[in-house]
Amino acid sequence: MSNFSSSISDANLRRRLIIGSISLAVAVSIIFIVVAYRLSSDLAESIEVKEFNKQFRWFFTELESLNRQIEDPEQLITAVQNNPVFQNLESELVAVEVWSNQKLYKVLNRINAADMINELASIGESLEANGALKYQDQHLFWQFQRTPGNTFSLLLVRKISSLDQALSFIANRLSITAFLTFWLAIWAALVMSAVITKRFEENNQKLTFLALHDPLTGLKNRTYLHEYFNAEVNNSKPLRQKIDQEQAAILMIDLNKFKDVNDIFGHATGDELIKIIALRLQAVIGENDALFRYGGDEFLVWLNLDDSRDVMPFASELLNCCGRPVPLANNQFEVGASIGIAYYPQDGEKLDTLVKHADIAMYHAKKLRSGFEFYQKQLPVFSERHVLLRGQLTQALALQQFVLVYQPKVSLPDGKIIGVEALARWQHPLDGLLSPVDFIDLIEQSGAIHSFSRFVITDAIKQAKLWLDAGTPMPISINLSVYNLADPELVTFFQNQFAQFKVPAELLEVELTESASMTDIKVTQTAFKQLHELGVKLSIDDFGTGMSSFAYLRELDMDFVKIDRSFVASMLDDRRNELVVKGLISMCQSLEKNVIAEGIETAEQAEKLYELGCRIGQGYFFGKPCFASDIKTVTNETSV
């Protein structure tokens, strides 16, 4: 796989670092040379001058005492010329002038010294003077001394040749040192830039890792998937043109009951669960394949295929990983998963399409409770819409796009409205009013069922309050999902809402489908008991479809049984269904439960049900679900 997403080019950084360091090295070297040259030339000059002074003094003392001893100054000149100091220095001396007995003797006269040395005139009373001057590009140094009575004086002018030598020597050394310093600096720059670049690379790698991985599980994330897909597809291009077969499969894994764990036991437990499942999945993923955390409880596997027959056993293995109980916080969680599978390139050449199709297949697997499903072209129209709606759910809840409509329940003997059932609708900004058939499943799966049901409860109680205040109290039944029963805060929530809106609990009924109430009879019993204690009435909805036994019905403490509309619809055409309805009604009567017949669309159906002993009906014949404000109008027009 290619190395990607490195935000800053390392080569660029390295180049800049090296150029910077070299410039610094050059600047430091230049400063070093200049300063060192100055210092050493000053030093050399002062050493040489000191040395010259010493020789001069000695020379002066020598000559002065000689001068006192001899008569003829000419002898003095010879003496000067024979003096070893003079001989030693001669090559460097340019002028030697002696003043004796009011007479000037030019012992050496390479330049006209006294004329050049202007300062001599201004020396005045001082006995000694010296200085430097430049003559024909030569550095010269002069020294002058006289006796206090001005009987004898000596002026020497000499080249400072050894200074030049010393300086060129120093310059040589300096340039070698500078050269070495320069290379040392470059070497240091290279080492430094390598170290810095390495640090930078490490940090960059860390950042890249963070951007491409999920912090909780350490698995690759969605962003990584895009990069991975591009790399995989580019790699397999030649292969793709050759063989027309499945090259890879995308497996979308969605945990079935994760949302419950999260809602009921908290996010920390939910996170732990995800981590354990991630580890288990990772353990079965091969080296050439990849596992991604796609969303909250969604994982995605990219499986490279040699043989498409490998997919099924692999999917089963994944299911097995998710199905094994997870020990957490003294509990055993069995979450289970549903997997949707889409083949590359058959089910999509683009990643988005592939993922969408795997998602649709996963949705089917969830719906059919079949574990895993392969994507099929016939399925998508319905499911694609679900996938779309699923993505919009959270926002819909936040934007309060859900409303309640109400359908009357009437007393069959006189057609009077005795209550209403609240039915949810999604006011979709594009698709209009959506039926719960389109979204309840999605809400249940998305984990939003608790907040959704809280909205339904509050909205229904508010409406009950409006009717109560208007002097026409109206019992309202609401539908709850099986997941709501697992919500430990549900009963308290009801209680608080009744208190807040000052509505008696008796005005509210809860409907739970027969199959939902059968899921865990103990949980249902407890919930029913608690709701009953509050004063809330209870109905078993869609009765007859759940195949529950008579004995089971007795176990539950409910007020109403709603006979499913499928029996009502076929009752008049099918004698057997009429018998079933008759049986259901008499069974409920023997248990002293009120029977409500659902889905009554004709007067005949209503009459027949009445004949069979049913006293409450609901259906389009009496009124379709409508907004609360329309309820009265509907009831006034109908009667049996």
Residues that bind Ca ion (CB under 5 A): 479, 511, 541-542, 598
Length of the chain: 640
Q: Shortest Cβ distance from residue 454 to ligand C2E (Å)?
A: 11
Using CB distances below 5 to 8 A depending on partner kind, what does residue 252 bind out of Ca ion, ligand C2E, none? Answer: none
Nearer to ligand C2E, 189 or 478 (CB): 478
Using CB distances below 5 to 8 A depending on partner kind, what does residue 599 bind out of ligand C2E, Ca ion, none? Answer: ligand C2E
Nearer to Ca ion, 359 or 542 (CB): 542
Cα angle 415-416-418, degrees, rounded to a multiple of 5: 125
The footprint of ligand C2E (CB under 6 A) covers 407, 423-424, 435-437, 440, 456, 478-481, 511, 541-542, 565, 598-601, 619-620, 625
Using CB distances below 5 to 8 A depending on partner kind, what does residue 345 bind out of ligand C2E, Ca ion, none? Answer: none
Using CB distances below 5 to 8 A depending on partner kind, what does residue 481 bind out of ligand C2E, Ca ion, none? Answer: ligand C2E
Q: Shortest Cβ distance from residue 262 to ligand C2E (Å)?
A: 19
Q: What is the DSSP string of 498-551?
A: HHHHT--GGGEEEEEEHHHHHHTHHHHHHHHHHHHHHT-EEEEEEETSS---HH
What residue type is assigned to position 502 of the chain? K
Q: Shortest Cβ distance from residue 617 to Ca ion (Å)?
A: 13
Using CB distances below 5 to 8 A depending on partner kind, what does residue 601 bind out of ligand C2E, Ca ion, none? Answer: ligand C2E
Using CB distances below 5 to 8 A depending on partner kind, what does residue 619 bind out of Ca ion, ligand C2E, none? Answer: ligand C2E
Using CB distances below 5 to 8 A depending on partner kind, what does residue 436 bind out of Ca ion, ligand C2E, none? Answer: ligand C2E
- Name the residue with tokens 């109206």: 474
Strands (E) across 120-258 are located at 128-135, 138-146, 152-159, 248-255
3-state secondary structure (DSSP) of residue 419: strand
User: CB of 463 within 8 A of CB of 425?
Assistant: no
Residues forming beta bridges with residue 340, ordered by sequence position: 252, 373
Using CB distances below 5 to 8 A depending on partner kind, what does residue 336 bind out of ligand C2E, Ca ion, none? Answer: none
Using CB distances below 5 to 8 A depending on partner kind, what does residue 423 bind out of Ca ion, ligand C2E, none? Answer: ligand C2E
Distance, CA of 159 to CA of 140 (rounded, Å): 5
Distance, CA of 127 to CA of 132 (rounded, Å): 18
Distance, CA of 335 to CA of 320 (rounded, Å): 11
Q: Shortest Cβ distance from residue 484 to Ca ion (Å)?
A: 14
User: CB of 457 within 8 A of CB of 493?
Assistant: yes
Residue closest to Ca ion, measured at CB: 511
Residues forming beta bridges with residue 341, ordered by sequence position: 251, 374
Q: Shortest Cβ distance from residue 256 to Ca ion (Å)?
A: 25
User: 2: phi > 0 → left, psi -120 to 50 → alpha, else beta; which?
Assistant: beta
Q: Shortest Cβ distance from residue 404 to ligand C2E (Å)?
A: 7
Count H helices, E strands: the chain?
23, 21
Q: Shortest Cβ distance from residue 518 to Ca ion (Å)?
A: 15
Q: Shortest Cβ distance from residue 232 to ligand C2E (Å)?
A: 42
3-state secondary structure (DSSP) of residue 98: strand
Nearer to ligand C2E, 280 or 454 (CB): 454
Using CB distances below 5 to 8 A depending on partner kind, what does residue 548 bind out of Ca ion, ligand C2E, none? Answer: none
Nearer to Ca ion, 358 or 571 (CB): 571
Q: Shortest Cβ distance from residue 424 to ligand C2E (Å)?
A: 4
Nearer to ligand C2E, 360 or 485 (CB): 485
Using CB distances below 5 to 8 A depending on partner kind, what does residue 73 bind out of ligand C2E, Ca ion, none? Answer: none
Nearer to Ca ion, 159 or 562 (CB): 562
Q: Shortest Cβ distance from residue 417 to ligand C2E (Å)?
A: 14
3-state secondary structure (DSSP) of residue 154: strand
Nearer to Ca ion, 322 or 422 (CB): 422
Nearer to ligand C2E, 143 or 481 (CB): 481
Distance, CA of 282 to CA of 276 (rounded, Å): 10
For 197, the token pair is 């670049």
HSE (CB half, 13 Å, CA atoms) of 382?
11
Q: Shortest Cβ distance from residue 542 to Ca ion (Å)?
A: 4
Nearer to ligand C2E, 250 or 563 (CB): 563
Nearer to ligand C2E, 117 or 512 (CB): 512
User: CB of 490 within 8 A of CB of 519?
Assistant: no
Distance, CA of 391 to CA of 411 (rounded, Å): 42
Distance, CA of 253 to CA of 372 (rounded, Å): 9
Distance, CA of 238 to CA of 147 (rounded, Å): 108
Nearer to ligand C2E, 553 or 600 (CB): 600
